[in-house]
Amino acid sequence: MNPFRTLMIHLKGRRYQGMLKTIYRYLQVKQWKYRNKTVTVSLRDKENIQIIMHPGCAVSEKLYVVGLYDHDGMQTLQKILKPNEVFYDVGANVGPFSLLAYDRGASIYAFEGHPITTQRCRDNLKLNGIDPDRAFATAVSEHNGKITFTNVVGSSVNKIINNSKSSKRISTIEVPTITLDSFAVNHEYPTAVKIDTEGSELTVIKGMQAILKNGTLKYLTFEANGLSSREDLREIYDILSNSNFILGTIDWEQKFFTEMFDLGIKSPTGDNMAIAKAATDLFTVNGIKILGS
């Protein structure tokens, strides 16, 4: 048989098997959810990492069914993060990024505003041999204190509420807040930060300007899913660029980083990335080219 045809048949067979695996796991999740059953499972294609899947937890469902669902963000962490680095996971949810970072050999600190979600994160850390006290039940902001937070158990999109009218229409709780600058003083300064706070990315970045300037931080990623205003994104750009960071989006399949000078409203990948000018060698060793927008 033609070697090329043999290869194509093999690849098609693998894709078919992958589709069957996805369908099987999806039906499993539906059954567990219907039975209101909590189960312990492994991440797809990361069998050494385990998570506790509670009924209706969208994050753990994705991790089990499709694996690394946030492809560019999770790929960035796996490609760039090195052993013994320090990773801050802001908006940790049940801890997938923290688990991946720990698997890379990094020291991790996870921050999650909702207390029940934080407990689930702690349970997942403990399940994987990580000190559960590395997960903190606090929102991250530009000040230390308290703030109003949405109260939807198991939700992947709980967030800070700044509008008093909005808080009257939905269930809310009061949670503590901390700045990353104040946290770092008493712990370790981060080399990498991930921010996923459903539109509150600016307030997190405002509270970490000492970190941005002290030279330890190599890169950060922040969600850009359309929830942040254009004004917030402009201010984020100004803060990060003035701290000697290059901003843009990364495509690991095409192997290029597109530098951006206007963050717009929504990133094509769902995330924006800022890399310290002094750390761009992290791209070159991975074959990533930097392109101007």
CATH of the domain at 152: 3.40.50.150
Within a domain: residue 118?
A: yes
Within a domain: residue 221?
A: yes
Residues 27 and 57 in one domain: no
Residue 2 binned pLDDT confidence (cut-offs 50, 70, 90): low
Residues 22 and 49 in one domain: no
Which domain covers residue 16, as residue numbers?
Answer: 1-34
Within a domain: residue 292?
A: no
Residues 218 and 85 in one domain: yes
Residues 7 and 131 in one domain: no
User: Is 70 exceeded by the pLDDT of residue 288?
Assistant: yes
Supply the mean pLDDT for the chain.
85
Within a domain: residue 7?
A: yes
Place of tokens 């230390």: 144
- Are 104 and 81 in contact by the 8 Å Cβ rule? The answer is yes
Residues 11 and 53 in one domain: no
pLDDT attached to residue 226: 60
Query: Between these two residues, 74 and 264, which has the higher pLDDT value?
Result: 74
Domain boundary among 218, 242, 266: 242
Residues 77 and 5 in one domain: no
Instruction: Choose among 139, 127, 137, 138: nearest CA to 99.
Output: 127
Residues 144 and 230 in one domain: yes
Number of domains forming the structure of the chain: 2
pLDDT attached to residue 95: 95
Within a domain: residue 270?
A: no
Residues 184 and 223 in one domain: yes
Residues 3 and 97 in one domain: no
Of 15-19, 139-143, 238-242, 281-285, minimum mean pLDDT range: 15-19
Query: Between these two residues, 27 and 1, which has the higher pLDDT value?
Result: 27
Residue 286 binned pLDDT confidence (cut-offs 50, 70, 90): confident
Within a domain: residue 185?
A: yes
- Are 65 and 33 in contact by the 8 Å Cβ rule? The answer is no
Burial class (CB within 10 angstroms; exposed 0-12, middle 13-18, buried 19+) of 285: exposed
Residues 113 and 30 in one domain: no
Domain boundary among 242, 267, 287: 242
Helices marked H in 128-214 — which ranges? 164-169, 180-185, 201-206, 209-213
Within a domain: residue 258?
A: no
* pLDDT tens digits, 210-220: 999 888 999 99
Contacts of 100 (CB under 8 A, 6+ apart): 46, 49, 68, 74, 77, 78
* pLDDT tens digits, 71-112: 778 888 888 898 999 999 999 999 999 999 999 999 999 999
> Going by DSSP bridges, is the β-strand pair 245-251/135-137 parallel, antiparallel, or unpaired?
unpaired
Within a domain: residue 282?
A: no
* pLDDT tens digits, 144-180: 998 877 767 666 666 666 655 444 567 887 889 999 9
Residues 10 and 140 in one domain: no
Structure tokens at 265: 């409203």
pLDDT attached to residue 225: 65
Residues 80 and 208 in one domain: yes
